[in-house]
Amino acid sequence: MRLQRLGWMIAGILLFAVSVLAAETPARLTADEAFAKLERAQYVFTAGRFAEAESVAREIALAADDPGALSGAVDLIALCRLSEGDFDGATKALEDPKASIANPTVQAYLDKRIADTQAKQAAHDQAITSLEAIVTAHPGDETGADAAYRIGETETFWARYPQALAAFGRVVSNYGSSSRALLARLAMGDLQERAGRHAEADALYAEVIERAPNTLCAAQAVARTKAALVARGDTAGAIRRMNEIVNAHPKTEAAARAQFCIGEIHAVAGHTIEAEAAFVCAAREYPTSPVVREAKDELAQMYYSLVAATPGEQDLASALESWRKAAHVDPDPVRRAETLYRIAIVCQQLAKYDDARAAADEILKDSSPPYAKWHEATRELVANAYYQEGKCAEALTRFQALLANCYDSDRLKVLQRMVDESKRCIAEQQAAATPSE
């Protein structure tokens, strides 16, 4: 009996060992499976989840046989290391194939990647050395501040984020009165947010806004505060913070951007009425701010979308109202000219002839190219509007002017027919006005 139990124990141990070995040996991936995993890993990478992307890439590198999938996986591993600020780790991953992959078929690819990485490292080191020399030669002045700031930009470009944070911190500490100090705080906020240190990021953005609320740098800090809060899923907190900025710094660039951001948040959430009110307020209350054009553009897009979203047979009166609002605010001359022409057409269809001519006059009084391209069609529309209204003499004058300047044979026939129709209409009107004996 004891021997039987011993036998069962040994069998169990062997089965466990086999299962462990099987688990540690990854199943080989077909080319299709490998590329499907690589596509997923690349998507995860673009979403900023670098550790997860690297884990999937290493699975591919260990289990794939296709050279294309392997080289893609190795490249993604290096990119993940670089994105985490680990330049040395990226180089090591590529220099030591056993650390990342177990397939010698990509050695040529690795050699090329190693050479590229070493060249980039040399370029980075040379840039930093040159900038440090400028900082040393210009202590305490704007030239030194600019060079110190550019060191931070260079480290950020090479994804050496801890070093970038330290470089921007030096600008703030050593060149606090420099114009670069605000930009450095803004960059530090971006790096802290990227690292998930939200409180530190919020504090840096807030400091930029408090120090210089009427600057475009402060407006950028407002926009990044909004983006960070929304990305964290705190939409209500984002609106609350934007309102705080509007109230604390009235009539400043920070307040203008905050008001615009409120509109953006509501627009994304589908709150059309609130978004429209916020954009209208931004355009009205901050007339000298760059945000005005953006607010008007958002309003125009909103009004156009209302027309496009009309279900079934379009309600012309509703479309007309939306187009009028859009034309009133649209800063894009190409889009506005086309909208005015649409307004003129719809007014003509609704027998609102004075409104049609008013929209046409808006087009005809502007000789710039976006409007000029609509001039001939608009003149013809006005002539047709007079004809439909029964003002045949005015229509005849306009059709004759169009005919005199027309060189298209098909259009000549149409205009000639309208000239004849206008003359016939005038004759009928005159006959009707003559009292019979």
What pLDDT sits at residue 437?
A: 53
Closest CA to 133 of 143, 142, 124: 143
Question: b/e per residue, 261-294, with b = 16+ CB within 10 A?
Answer: bbbbbbbeeeeeebbbebbbbbbebbeebebbeb
Partnered with residue 64 across adjacent β-strands are 29
Q: With 50 as the cut, is the pLDDT of residue 103 above it?
A: no
Contact 297, 305 (CB under 8 A): no
CA atoms of 215 and 93, how far apart (whole Å): 44
Tokens of 274: 């609130």
User: Where does the pLDDT of residue 27 fall: very low under 50, low under 70, confident under 90, or very high at 90 and above?
Assistant: confident
Task: Characterise 245 by phi-psi region: left (phi > 0), alpha (psi -120 to 50), beta (else).
Answer: alpha
Q: With 80 as the cut, is the pLDDT of residue 86 above it?
A: no
CA atoms of 84 and 97, how far apart (whole Å): 20
Tokens of 219: 């407006």
User: Where does the pLDDT of residue 111 fall: very low under 50, low under 70, confident under 90, or very high at 90 and above?
Assistant: low
What pLDDT sits at residue 257?
A: 96
Dihedral pair phi/psi, residue 29, rounded to 5°: -100, 135
Burial of 155 (C-beta count, 10 Å sphere; 0-12/13-18/19+): buried
What pLDDT sits at residue 252?
A: 95
What pLDDT sits at residue 18?
A: 38
What pLDDT sits at residue 109?
A: 53
Q: With 70 as the cut, is the pLDDT of residue 123 above it?
A: yes
Contact 47, 28 (CB under 8 A): no
Q: With 50 as the cut, is the pLDDT of residue 19 above it?
A: no
What pLDDT sits at residue 308?
A: 57
User: Where does the pLDDT of residue 250 fall: very low under 50, low under 70, confident under 90, or very high at 90 and above?
Assistant: very high
What pLDDT sits at residue 116?
A: 67
Q: With 80 as the cut, is the pLDDT of residue 336 above it?
A: yes
Q: How far is CA 430 from CA 18, 390, 392, 395, in A?
A: 108, 12, 11, 15
Q: Which residue has the tokens 């950020």?
A: 156
3-class SS shares of the chain: helix, strand, coil, % to 5? 80, 0, 20
Please compute the mean of the pLDDT values over residues 322-333 and round it to a whole number: 86
Q: With 90 as the cut, is the pLDDT of residue 349 above it?
A: no
Can you give the residue ranges of every domain in the chain?
A: 13-121, 138-195
What pLDDT sits at residue 436?
A: 59
- What DSSP line would sit under 262-296, residue for residue? HHHHHHHHT-HHHHHHHHHHHHHH-TTSTHHHHHH
User: Where does the pLDDT of residue 98 fall: very low under 50, low under 70, confident under 90, or very high at 90 and above?
Assistant: very low
Q: With 50 as the cut, is the pLDDT of residue 1 above it?
A: no
Q: Looking at 24-28, 143-147, 378-382, which range is the least confident one?
A: 24-28
**pLDDT > 90 in the chain, percent:** 39
Q: With 90 as the cut, is the pLDDT of residue 270 above it?
A: no
Q: Which residue has the tokens 């989840």?
A: 49
CA atoms of 412 and 403, how far apart (whole Å): 6
Please tell us whether the domain made up of 13-121 is placed in CATH 3.30.70: no
Contact 186, 202 (CB under 8 A): no
> What global pTM score does this model have?
0.62
pLDDT digits (tens, 9 = 90+) for 208-245: 999 999 999 999 999 999 999 999 999 999 999 999 99
pLDDT digits (tens, 9 = 90+) for 425-435: 998 888 887 76
What pLDDT sits at residue 294?
A: 92
Q: How far is CA 339 from CA 27, 64, 160, 312, in A?
A: 61, 56, 49, 21
- Residues 6+ positions from 230 with CB-CB distance below 8 Å: 238, 265, 268
Per the model's pLDDT, the better-predicted residue between 393 and 139 turns out to be 393
Please compute the mean of the pLDDT values over residues 184-205 and round it to a whole number: 94
CA atoms of 330 and 212, how far apart (whole Å): 31
CA atoms of 127 and 164, how far apart (whole Å): 14
Please compute the mean of the pLDDT values over residues 312-336 and round it to a whole number: 79
